[in-house]
Structure 1
Amino acid sequence: MRFQSTETYVATGDLTVAVNAAVTLERPLLVKGEPGTGKTELARQVAASLGLPIIEWHVKSTTRAQQGLYEYDAVSRLRDSQLGDARVQDVANYIRKGKLWQAFEAEGRVVLLIDEIDKADIEFPNDLLQELDRMEFFVYETGETIRARHRPVVIITSNNEKELPDAFLRRCFFHYIRFPDMEVMKAIVQVHFPGIKEALLTEALTQFFELRETPGLKKKPSTSEVLDWLKLLLAEDLGPEDLKRDPAQLLPKLHGALLKNEQDVHLFERLAFMARARR
Structure 2
Amino acid sequence: MSGPDAPDSTDWRVFRATGRAPGEPSRLPGPPPWRRFGGGPPLLPPPDDPEAALRRLGPGDHVPQLGPEQIDTVNAALLLRRPLLITGPPGIGKSTLAYLLSRELRLGRVLQWNIVSRTTLRDGLYAYDAIGRAQAIAAWQGAEQRTPADGGPPPALGDFITLGPLGTALLPYDRPRVLLVDELDKSDIDLPNDLLHVLENGSYDIPELVRDAARSARVHTDDPEQFAPVSGGRVECREFPVVLITSNGEREFPAAFRRRCLPLEMRALTREQLLAIVSGHLGSLPPDAEAMVDLFVRRVRAGGTHSLDQLLNAARLTTVDGFRAEGEGRKLIETLLRDLAKGR
TM-score relative to the length of structure 2:
0.64
- Give SS of 2:208's match: coil
Aligned to 1:8: 62
* Equivalent residue number for residue 38 of structure 1: 93
RMSD of equivalent CA atoms: 3.0
Other-structure match for 1:97: 163
List per-residue Cα deviations over 1:160-206 (Å, max 9, x = no partner). 22322221111111111111122332333332345327x84443322
Q: What CA deviation, in whole Å up to 9, does each residue of 1:202-257 have, x standing for no partner? A: 43322222233346x5xx22222122222223436889xx77x99xxxx8772111
Mapped to 1, the partners of 2:84 and 2:63 lie a distance apart of: 18
Counterpart contact for 2:279–2:285, Cα < 8 Å: yes
Letter in 2 for 1:126: N
Q: Aligned to 1:124, which of 191, 213, 216?
A: 191
Could you tell me how far 1:147 is from its partner in structure 2?
Answer: 0.5
- In 2, the alpha carbon distance for the partners of 1:214 and 1:147 equals 48
- CA separation of 1:213/1:253 partners in 2, compared to 1, >3 Å: closer, same or farther? farther
Partner of 2:124 in structure 1?
A: 68
1:178 & 1:261 partners in 2: Cα distance?
18
1:152 CA displacement: 1.2
Question: Identity of aligned pairs, percent?
Answer: 30
Aligned partners of 2:113 and 2:263: how far apart in 1?
19
Query: 2:295 is matched by which residue type in structure 1?
Result: Q
Q: Identify, as 1 or 2, the structure richer in helix.
A: 1
Whether 1:210 aligns to 2:210 is no
Asked whether 1:224 is paired with 2:309, we answer yes
Match of 1:272 in 2: none
- 1:23, distance to aligned residue in structure 2 (A): 0.7
* Distance in 2 between residues matched to 1:135 and 1:95, nearest whole Å: 20
In terms of mean alpha carbon deviation, does 14-23 or 187-196 score higher? 187-196
CA–CA distance in 2 between the matches of 1:131 and 1:101? 10
Question: CA distance change for structure 1 residues 201 and 161 in 2, over 3 Å: closer, same or farther?
Answer: same
- Indicate the residue corresponding to 2:280 in structure 1: 191
**d(CA) in 1 for partners of 2:341, 2:83:** 39
Alpha-carbon distance between aligned partners in 1 of 2:162 and 2:279, rounded to the nearest angstrom: 43
Structure 2 letter corresponding to 1:116: E
For residue 39 of structure 1, give the secondary structure of its aligned residue in structure 2.
coil
Q: 1:222 to 1:262 in 2, by over 3 A?
A: closer
Return 62-71 or 253-262, whichever deviates more. 253-262
Report if the CA contact (8 A) 1:113-1:154 is conserved: yes
The aligned amino acid for 2:275 is K
Q: 1:158 to 1:92 in 2, by over 3 A?
A: same
TM-aligned CA distance change 1:207 to 1:133, over 3 Å: same
Q: How far did 1:3 drift? A: 3.9
Q: Residue in 1 aligned with 2:51?
A: none
Matched AA of 2:292:
A
Letter in 1 for 2:245: I
The equivalent of 2:41 in structure 1 is none
Give 1:65 deviation, angstroms: 0.8
* Paired residue total: 253
Which amino acid letter does the alignment assign opposite residue 211 of structure 1? R
Alignment of 1:29-178 (within 5 A): 29-53=84-108, 54-85=110-141, 87=154, 90-105=156-171, 107-109=173-175, 110-143=177-210, 144=232, 145-178=234-267
Q: CA 1:172–1:63 in 2, change beyond 3 Å: closer, same or farther?
A: same
| Residues in 1 aligned to 2:88 and 2:252: alpha-carbon distance in whole angstroms | 13
CA change 1:92–1:40 in 2 (3 A) is same
The answer to whether the 8 A contact 1:3-1:16 is kept is: yes
What residue number does 2:338 align with?
A: 259
Residue segments in structure 1 that go unaligned for 5+ positions in a row: 266-279
- Asked whether the 8 Å contact 1:3–1:46 carries over to 2, the reply is no
- Cα distance change on mapping 1:232 and 1:94 into 2, 3 Å: closer
Distance change >3 Å, CA 55–CA 9, structure 1 → 2: farther
Within 2, Cα distance between the matches of 1:178 and 1:99?
28
Distance 2:191 2:315 in 1: 38
Normalised by the size of structure 1, how large is the TM-score?
0.77
CA drift at 1:34:
1.2
Corresponding residue number in structure 2 for 1:274: none
